Amino acid sequence: MTIQRLENVGIVVEDLEAVKAFFVDLGLTVMGEGPAEGEWVDRVGGLEGVRLDVVMLRTPDGNGRLELMRYRAPAALDGFGHAPPNTLGLHRVGFAVDDIDAAVAGLRARGVRLVGELVRYEDAYKLCYVRGPEGIIVMLAEQLG
């Protein structure tokens, strides 16, 4: 077996529309959206009576995908919330951007705040973390040179 690619990163959310709008504003496009339920959903997730709404987003280069899910049943469990970046578990997604200063300015204009600071890592990257809806941490990185 050889891994071919990263298929997607999944994030369970409460306010699907707000989270979708946040990522669309960042530049992702909606590939598809709709409900998912039935025996296959129950079996793959090891739950019973699953009913959820799904939005699949794609990065502009077409290679990255982000799957947003809102569970109608069973109810989603409280998780990381507004956990800091050093919390165990998966709770950050990162995107390469061509102009991080413009990206941060646009996000700030919409009320999004940085988790820390916009920093330069050697001569390689400028990067920052922003906190999106529902506490999701998004890393933005601009490759330099």
What one-character-per-residue DSSP string does 65-128 give? EEEEEEEEESPPPP--TT--TTSSS--EEEEE-S-HHHHHHHHHHTT--BSS--EEETTTEEEE
What is the mean predicted confidence (pLDDT) over 129-138?
Answer: 91
Average pLDDT, the chain: 91
| 79 found inside a domain | no
Rounded-to-integer distance, Cα 2 and Cα 112, Å: 39
What is the mean predicted confidence (pLDDT) over 41-69?
Answer: 94
Clarify whether residues 96 and 69 are in a common domain. Answer: no
Confidence of residue 36 (pLDDT cuts 50, 70, 90): very high
| 139 found inside a domain | yes
| 108 found inside a domain | yes
| 128 found inside a domain | yes
What is the mean predicted confidence (pLDDT) over 4-15?
Answer: 90
Domain extent at residue 109:
92-143
What is the mean predicted confidence (pLDDT) over 16-22?
Answer: 97
Total number of domains in the chain: 2
Q: Which of 13-27, 34-48, 55-69, 73-87 has the lowest mean pLDDT?
A: 73-87
Clarify whether residues 33 and 65 are in a common domain. Answer: yes
